[in-house]
Amino acid sequence: MIGSDNLLFIQQSLHNVLQGQSARGEDCVQSISNEQFISNTNEQITAYVFSKLEILPLTIYRDRAVRSVPREITVQHIGVLNQIIFVDGVEIELLIPYSGESDLWKYQPSTFDFNPPRGIAIADRSNDQIGILKIKLGYTHDEFKSDAVNKEIEGVFKSLDSYLYNVKREIEIHNDQLKNEISRLVCQRRERLGAIQKTSETLILPIEIKEGTPSITELPIEQKVILPLPSKKPSTPEYGISDSIYDSILLVLRHEGISFERTPTTYAVHDEEELRDILLAHLNSYFKGQATGETFRKNGKTDICIEFENRAAFVAECKLWRGNQAVIEAINQLLGYLTWRDVKAALIIFNKDVAGFKQIQDKVLNILREHPNCVRAEFLPGTSEWRMILRSREDAERLITLRVLLFNLYTT
């Protein structure tokens, strides 16, 4: 067999390359702005930097490998007297898909032999983490026998597997050490900054439960949504309502909605605005603001809101069930309001006209998940409620918590 391709794994020491990569860790940690550093946890920053520096080992996919049709060529051959002669021969080409860092085909692992595999690695133009390894095998006509060719191909894969195993083992050790080093560097910088508390922490609006009102049981706090490392930090403080107040608001809405369902003939005669006003009155009987007696207000566009400095920290819309599109439009309406970063919202839907209430319930989750701004949506078992996380239309880093409550006021 006459190999006609370049030698792999010989251009540079893999050990030296990995050492250089480790040295980049400190520069990457220091390149993060103070604002970004303060706005994120050590774990988030470590994961962010590691994702930039992590090296992916090479993997070949033998089950997807193909070979070309044999073609006649002129090949070099060693004659009887060890002289180079040119003879007619046959060439085939192996095409082996791979994934991982394409440059790793150049680097020599710490464990190697003096007969490395030959080939040319061609990375994909749009993604250098995948590509094709081309290996040419040339034979004289006398050598080109199926058994000999198959044996030679097995030898090629055996050599590749041996080198790739050594490369992978070295990289896995490097990646583990790199992550630990990044974590250490992040902790060191955190100590230098003295960032004990994030400056972007939400400031809680002064909303209290009025004395003498019925007890409202505190509900579990929802799991926090982890944001990616933000590109910028808000230049002004952000305000919002606490999770416990939000849960208490939902409890009042839920309690009133269930009361409506128990006597539907009393409430089904009301339109959207009248149902909204009834809810508004009940909310203000439970809660009070620092500046005004009425925490919850109408402002023309929004059905119910808590406002501070002309921005809404809580918004709610009351709608009658009018089908799928009406739900989407109501969500879009909520997304259109100016909000704080920690905004929380509610969509209260009343069914007055459809007899098959279960059919409506079965539709809601799919409607929510199909909204283009939906991050996630889930049904809350044992209720007629859904929890949804949405991205703001103006700022992809701003997340809105929405609770959808559906009540049945249908009467024959």
* Whole-number pLDDT of residue 349: 94
The answer on 277 and 395 residing in a single domain is: yes
Q: For residue 110, give the amino acid letter.
A: S
Co-location of 150 and 245 in the same domain: no
Backbone angles phi, psi at 391, to 5 degrees: -90, 140
Same domain, 332 and 231: yes
Q: Which residue range(s) make up the domain with 404?
A: 207-408
98, 170: one domain: yes
Q: Which amino acid is it at 203?
A: L
- Listed as own residue / partner, the contacts of 169-174 with beta carbons closer than 8 Å and 24 or more positions apart are 170/14, 170/15, 170/18, 170/109, 170/110, 171/14, 171/18, 171/55, 171/57, 171/104, 172/57, 174/18, 174/21, 174/22, 174/55
Helix ranges, 7-132 (H): 14-31, 34-39, 42-53
Average pLDDT, the chain: 79
State the CB neighbour count (10 A cutoff) for residue 57: 18
pLDDT tens for 340-365 read 554 688 999 999 988 888 999 999 99
- The count of domains in the chain is 2
Look at residue 201 and tell me if it is in a domain.
no
Domain shared by 169 and 224, yes or no: no
Q: DSSP characters for 354-404?
A: -S-HHHHHHHHHHHHHTSTTEEEEEEETTTTEEEEEEE-SS-TT-EEEEEE
Same domain? 372 vs 283 = yes
Contacts of 368 (CB under 8 A, 6+ apart): 327, 331, 374, 377, 386, 388, 404
Tell me the residue length of the chain: 412
Is 202 inside any structural domain?
no
Q: Residues 90, 225: one domain?
A: no
Is the same domain home to 272 and 335? yes
CA dihedral 40, 221, 246, 236 (to 10 degrees): -10
Whether residue 104 is found in the same domain as residue 176: yes
Let me know if residue 263 belongs to a domain: yes
Domain boundary, last residue among 143, 162, 193 = 193
Task: Report percent pLDDT > 70 for the chain.
Answer: 78
Same domain, 179 and 239: no
Q: Is residue 69 included in any domain, yes or no?
A: yes
Q: Tens digit of pLDDT for each residue in 131-147?
A: 899 999 988 888 889 89
Which of 272, 322, 320, 314 has the alpha carbon at shortest distance from 297? 314
199 against 133, higher pLDDT? 133
CA–CA gap between residue 74 and residue 72 (Å, rounded): 7
Using alpha carbons, list the distances in angstroms from residue 158 to 116, 152, 190.
11, 10, 48
> 36 versus 373: which is more confidently predicted?
373
255 and 139 in a common domain: no
CB 343 within 8 A of CB 238: no
Contact 316, 326 (CB under 8 A): no
| Predicted model pTM | 0.47
Instruction: Note whether 117 and 96 are within 8 A (CB).
Output: no
Q: Is 315:304 a contact under the CB 8 Å cutoff? A: yes
Give the end of a domain, one of 124, 159, 193.
193
- pLDDT tens for 158-174 read 999 999 999 999 999 99
Give Cβ neighbours of residue 119 (< 8 Å, ≥ 6 apart). Answer: 5, 6, 8, 105, 133, 134, 135, 136
The yes-or-no verdict on residue 193 having pLDDT over 60 is: yes
Q: In this prediction, what percent of the chain has a pLDDT beyond 90?
A: 29
Instruction: Give the mean model confidence (pLDDT) for residues 144-152.
Output: 90
φ, ψ of residue 191 to 5 degrees: the values are -65, -40
- Whether 296 is covered by a domain: the verdict is yes
Residues 187 and 212 occupy one common structural domain: no
> Among all chains, which residue has been given the structure tokens 């030296």?
16
pLDDT digits (tens, 9 = 90+) for 254-302: 888 888 998 888 888 888 888 888 888 888 777 665 333 345 454 445 5
Q: 193, 220, 248: which is the final residue of a domain?
A: 193
Name the nearest CA neighbour of 179 among 79, 324, 48, 267: 48
Kindly state whether residue 148 falls inside one of the protein's structural domains.
yes
